[in-house]
Amino acid sequence: MKRKIFIAVFFLTLVPTFAFAQNAQLENVLNSMDKAAANFKTVETDFVWDQFSKVVNDHDLQEGTMYFRRNGNNVEMAANVSKPDNKQILFSNGVVQVYQPKIEQVTKYDAGKNRDAFESFLVLGFGGRGHDLQKSFDVKHGGAENINGVQAQKLILTPKSDKVKGMFQAITLWIDPVRGVSVQQKFESSDGDYRLASYKNIKLNEKLPDVFKLKTTSKTKVVTPQS
């Protein structure tokens, strides 16, 4: 009996120590993101996007290169998708444009009143401050994991607002603790679908190629879906 009591007391004394260590690790990661955000100008990175649909048990994989840059108070994004089909995606001034050369079409989506929310998701791990996450999410440290050769620190984000919960049940970020940027992100919905984005060959604050303009032709038509 005494031995059992001793073991129970021993493990109870470990709980505060473990919690303190977890909080310290979380603070270190958030601080590294804050530092990266303060110095953020541009990002260039190769990516693999995996869109999983649980209903049909299907993975839609896309590969390419993504670019971010700070333009005043706003962050712009461009992505050149190379696989499985060529596609160019551009987000600027609250508008998303998707150019599909194969069918010579640009589809435009206006973020409208959801612009701020869209931009906040866009900069998760790329130019966004770490401590700002705690305004919109309950943030927990989920340990370390090797992602593309980086010993990344895992952050588990649970949305505070019902509106965001309606889109994502949980968001997980894998942060490079040295550079303060994402090396992987996972957005999970309540129905079991998820989007996993993996990044490598990340270049920070270097000159970017001319990618923030769609390379269309005279045959390209523009479509704006009705909301």
Question: What would the pLDDT profile of 37-84 be if each residue is shown by its tens digit?
Answer: 999 999 999 999 999 999 999 999 999 999 999 888 788 999 999 999
Could you tell me the CA-to-CA distances from 12 to 3, 9, 16, 220 in Å, in that order? 14, 5, 8, 66
Is residue 175 a contact partner of residue 36, using CB atoms and an 8 Å limit? no
Side chain identity, residue 112: G
Question: Two tokens at 88?
Answer: 């160019």
Using one digit for the tens of pLDDT, what is the confidence trace for 171-219? 999 999 999 999 999 999 989 999 999 999 999 999 999 999 999 999 9
Handedness of CA 108, 111, 116, 120 (dihedral sign): negative
CA distance 126 to 80: 17
Domain spans of the chain?
Answer: 2-223
C-beta separation of 64 from 78 below 8 A = no
- Give CA–CA dist 37/180, Å, rounded: 8
Q: 119 φ, ψ to 5°?
A: -65, -35
pLDDT confidence bin for 10, thresholds 50/70/90:
very low
**Sign of torsion, CA 31 34 40 44?**
positive
Q: What's the CATH superfamily of 2-223?
A: Lipoprotein localisation LolA/LolB/LppX (2.50.20.10)
